């Protein structure tokens, strides 16, 4: 049996690292895309250098999170895979989020939409790494072939930029849902404050 409000310290630390890295990646990425959009007078070399350093940190964090979800004590990989408690509840959950239904369907720790989002974020991050490293090392024959695969350098820049917007919108949605629909989870994730009445699954 596990509680919906179990967010062990390693999971919380890795979540916070993701949060900080994402904010920096989007801010520096924006600046690289539109250098004239400088509000703070940041110089391009600093923005690019920061973007690459943080890229390595967020990728290392991603590998650690995957490893920990499989081999760490709670083995929480199961929460990111389909579970029978969620079967057939995708549309009911969506209706609840669209205010078409008053009660939230009882699901496992994460509902199907959450699971899908977290898994897609992981793949999207590694896709950003693939396109990012291809832009960075474009003169290397292997990475040059990756650039070609995506239709050339300007195309790969555009794809990398568009996927950033995917992150921006889905993260905004995630923040909105957690603050307005699941505030208790927010308190656990950020401050370790567990509610008195635990929802046990």
Task: Enter the DSSP assignment of 3.
Answer: B
Q: Copy the structure tokens of residue 74.
A: 């709670």
Closer to ligand HEM by Cβ: residue 105 or 132? 132
Task: Enter the DSSP assignment of 79.
Answer: G
Please report how close the Cβ of residue 128 comes to ligand HEM at its closest, in angstroms: 4
Q: Copy the structure tokens of residue 45.
A: 């070399």
Query: Applying CB under 6 A, which residues contact ligand HEM?
Result: 25-26, 29-30, 32-33, 48, 51, 55, 58-59, 125, 128-129, 132-133, 135-136, 157, 160-161, 164, 167
Using CB atoms within 10 Å of the CB of residue 104, give its burial: 0 to 12 exposed, 13 to 18 middle, 19+ buried. middle
Closer to ligand HEM by Cβ: residue 36 or 197? 36
The residue whose two tokens read 């939230």 is: 104
Please report how close the Cβ of residue 42 comes to ligand HEM at its closest, in angstroms: 13
Strand partners, 200: 3
Please report how close the Cβ of residue 158 comes to ligand HEM at its closest, in angstroms: 7
Closer to ligand HEM by Cβ: residue 17 or 25? 25
Q: What are phi and psi of 200, to 5 degrees?
A: -105, 135
Distance separating alpha carbons of residues 114 and 82, to the nearest angstrom:
11
Closer to ligand HEM by Cβ: residue 161 or 201? 161
Please report how close the Cβ of residue 53 comes to ligand HEM at its closest, in angstroms: 10
Closer to ligand HEM by Cβ: residue 25 or 189? 25
The CA-CA-CA angle for residues 85, 90, 96, to 5°, reads 105
Please report how close the Cβ of residue 7 comes to ligand HEM at its closest, in angstroms: 23
Q: Copy the structure tokens of residue 157.
A: 């820049």
């Amino acid at each position: 049996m596990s509680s919906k409000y179990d967010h062990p310290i390693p999971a919380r630390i890795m979540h916070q690292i993701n949060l900080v890295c994402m904010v920096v990646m989007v801010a520096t990425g924006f600046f690289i895309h539109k250098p004239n959009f400088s509000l703070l007078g940041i110089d391009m070399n600093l923005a690019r250098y920061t973007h690459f350093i943080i890229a390595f940190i967020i990728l290392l964090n991603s590998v650690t999170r995957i490893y920990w979800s499989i081999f760490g004590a709670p083995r929480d990989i199961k929460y990111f895979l389909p579970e029978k408690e969620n079967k057939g509840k995708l549309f009911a959950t969506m209706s609840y989020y669209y205010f078409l239904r008053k009660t939230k369907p009882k699901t496992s720790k994460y509902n199907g939409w959450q699971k899908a989002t977290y898994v897609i974020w992981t793949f999207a991050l590694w896709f950003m790494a693939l396109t990012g490293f291809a832009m960075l090392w474009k003169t290397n024959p292997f990475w040059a072939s990756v650039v070609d695969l995506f239709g050339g350098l300007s195309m790969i820049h555009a794809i990398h930029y568009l996927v950033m917007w995917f992150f921006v919108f889905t993260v905004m949605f995630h923040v909105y849902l957690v603050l307005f629909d699941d505030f208790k989870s927010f308190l656990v994730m950020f401050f370790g404050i567990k509610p008195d009445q635990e929802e046990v699954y």
